[in-house]
Structure 1
Amino acid sequence: MTEAAILCVDDEIVILESIQEQISRHFGDRFLYEAAESAEEALEIIEELNKEGVKILVIVSDWLMPGMRGDEFLVQVQQQFGDITKIMLTGQADLEAIERAKREANLYSCIHKPWREEELIEIMTTALKLA
């Protein structure tokens, strides 16, 4: 079993599948790829993987999701699992939310929708070097 994972979080399944497909096409079987349709589901996945000894290297999270916004989710991840690199992928986050995520969640990067695959892969590549 792969010991390192990348977690993608977005409430829109089409976007979630697209992100995962682009990342896995580039990085192949070097990582375990997990997906969550909400911040709450993502926190459960993080807990499960942590118990199994799988290290999550990078989280790519949407901002506008039902229940918990992406900046709130990433702050919570930072407080519980500070060593995970965090990327926000958003079409609607305001500057205040992005700044909060940078300040309180140690946000590595913010990618705006619609994103370019090359930009996503470039940011992921550098983020994984830091992980």
Structure 2
Amino acid sequence: MSKLAILCVDDEAIILNSLLRQLQTAFDDTYLYETAENASEALEIIEELQGEGTDLLVIVSDWLMPGAKGDELLIDVHQRFPGVVKIMLTGQADHDAVERAHDQANLHTCLAKPWQEQDLIQAIQSALPQ
């Protein structure tokens, strides 16, 4: 059975650290946890995971980042790996970007920053196969 990973993408290290802590508390060692600070780094990590036989299960992405925006990243991920659950976590996404991610990336949910830990965990749990 292949390993499963959750990838968090945000250009702020403090946000990534907070997300990792919350995910590890909720899911313990059930999943592999990866972080990236931008879209290109995220795509590199996904390729590495695939090469190692690890399946990306969930991607949690900020919207406003240098380079590609979060909706662009999620659309790209969806085109390559349609089964990945996509969650946007942002304080600044415009309505059009969220709609585009829903329409073109099958966005599971969009959470506003600052987020509530239970909302993030519930969003991930509701997307996982039972």
Q: TM-score, normalised by structure 1?
A: 0.96
Q: Tell me how far 1:129 sits from its aligned partner.
A: 2.8
1:52 aligns with 2:84: no
Q: Distance in 2 between matches of 1:126 and 1:109?
A: 10
Structure 2, unpaired ranges of 5+: none
Question: Equivalences for 1:25-64 in 2 at 5 Å?
Answer: 25-64=25-64
More helix by share: 1
- Opposite residue 14 of structure 1, the aligned amino acid is I
Aligned ranges for residues 1-131 of structure 1 at < 5 Å?
A: 3-129=3-129
Instruction: List alignment gaps of at least 5 residues for structure 1.
Output: none
Runs (4+) of structure 1 moved beyond 2 Å?
A: none
TM-score scaled by length of structure 2:
0.96
Aligned residue pairs, count: 130
**Matched-pair identity in %:** 57
Give the SS at the match of 1:99: helix
Amino acid at match of 1:73: L
Amino acid at match of 2:58: V
SS at match of 2:93: coil
Coordinate RMSD, CA, aligned: 1.3
